[in-house]
Amino acid sequence: MKWVFLLGLLVFTPWLAMHLKAQPRHLPYAGFAIGILPFLLSGFNLTASPISWSHWSGAVKGIDISLLDGVALAVLFATKPARTPASLKAAFAIYALAVAVSTIAGSPGARLASVFYAWQIARAALVYVAVSRATVTHPKVAVAVVMGLGTGLGLQALVALEEHLGGVSQAGGMFGHQNLLGMASHFAVFPAVALVLAGQYTKQATAIVIAGLVVAFTGGSRATIGLFAIGLVITLCLSLWRKSTGRKTAVAAGLFVALLASLPVLYTAIERRSDETRANSSLERRLMISAAKMIITDHPLGIGPNRYVVVANVGGYSDRAGVPWDQANRAAPVHNTYYLVTAEMGWIGLLGLLALYGSILALGLRTIRGGSSGVHGELPVGLTATMIVLAAHSYFEWITMYFHIHYLLAISVGLLIGLRQGAAAQRRRVRRVPMPSVELARSGA
């Protein structure tokens, strides 16, 4: 069946590229598809793997090709180029170097697993390029992508609510795990909050925020709930920092009051797990970090991406750190992206990750202050808040290594860069428009 899917994708992609090239007004529909697909790929099995290691312990289990890859490739060929800032290029180059160096430095036994991760990074880069180009090419693409993200989150919220009503204490929707769904929700919620504050697409954006609340409540993840609240406050502050108006201040105050009112309900979601369970979870995380520190000491260049679990167990690191011998602990990497990246890709990998997060955040803050008016000026507020929350959430989770989060990060950065370039182009157009008085003087009036 996978070969039928791949053959269909081989036919569909060039057809879509030619269609979008001939009908650029349909680009927003492609943008909507790019936004919604990360939330649907797993649940609807819209991915095929020419090479598959289904039982591999890493997050990436093969050379995967998804429907989203096909749509992104078609959009790339149908749009005009967008310029990627030098700081972002440099950061990505450092991270890519770390992937290559750690793959070579690691033991040769399972290097193909590291190649799987490199392929996943390439797919995410493809989506980034497609989104940035589409955002520059068509002014309605940015909102269409956000609405796609929100629709995907809304569908996941319905599935998670059904699971919760069916007795599942921590619902994960189609993602299968509450932490993964919770992190994915950030990418839709905070841009939607920015739209609410701006008074743009208010009904749709409010529905997206409500879907995020449902996901946080049904999932019961401490990090998701806490960072939902923190991210909301960050978005409010960034939006008011960009431009404060009486309406926006009133809406921000209303959202803050609504957040305070919802906190007791969200706290009951955390309380669904016993004190002992939460304490054990915290202890296990600390033990995993101890194991990761030992790996980092022994392998400063890294053990190779996508290989942590095997090395931690076979190398005896988890044993020495006292990590309990059960599937939940021994089959998962250290629950901290920064430690995981350093263990797998060495100190170069950590530098690359920090450079990526830092450059995106810096670009976001500059875009907020220099953004255009209207919705395109407000969306970078939510995208920047998402990056801040992602950087914080990465300290508590390793699930950033899944393709869902890679895709969503690529989409968000693509939107940010596309909107930034669009704002710069608008400022250039404004500077080129002659003042009326100058025109009158030239005409001899």
Positive or negative, the CA dihedral 292, 407, 360, 88 is positive
Within-domain flag for 209: yes
What is the SS3 assignment for 58? coil
- Residue 94 lies inside a defined structural domain of this protein: yes
- Proportion of the chain in helix, strand, coil states, percent, rounded to 5: 80, 0, 20
Residue numbers of the chain with a pLDDT score lower than 70: 271-280, 327, 371-372, 425-445
Q: Is residue 293 part of a domain?
A: no
Q: Is residue 294 part of a domain?
A: no
H-helix segments, 27-85:
27-36, 67-78
* Residue 10, domain member (yes or no): yes
Whether residue 441 is contained in a domain is answered as no
Q: What is the count of structural domains for the chain? A: 1
Alpha-carbon torsion angle 95, 97, 101, 103, nearest 10: 60
Q: Can you tell me which residue has the tokens 């995106």?
A: 360
pLDDT at 298: 95
437 within a domain of the structure (yes/no): no
Is the Cβ–Cβ distance between 132 and 414 less than 8 Å?
yes
In this prediction, residue 266 carries a pLDDT of 80
Structural domain of 359: 2-278+324-427
Per-residue confidence (pLDDT) for residue 370, from 0 to 100: 74
CA angle (426 as vertex; 420, 431 as ends), nearest 5: 130
- Nearest-CA neighbor of 285 among 257, 254, 324, 236? 324
pLDDT score, position 440: 47
Which residue type is seen at 12?
Answer: F
The burial of 416, by beta-carbon neighbours within 10 Å (0-12 exposed, 13-18 middle, 19 or more buried), is given as buried
Contact predicate 59/401, CB 8 Å: yes
**Identity at 431, one-letter amino acid code:** R
Distance CA 235, CA 193 (A): 7
**Domain membership flag for residue 52:** yes
Instruction: Give the pLDDT confidence score for residue 445 in this predicted structure.
Output: 44
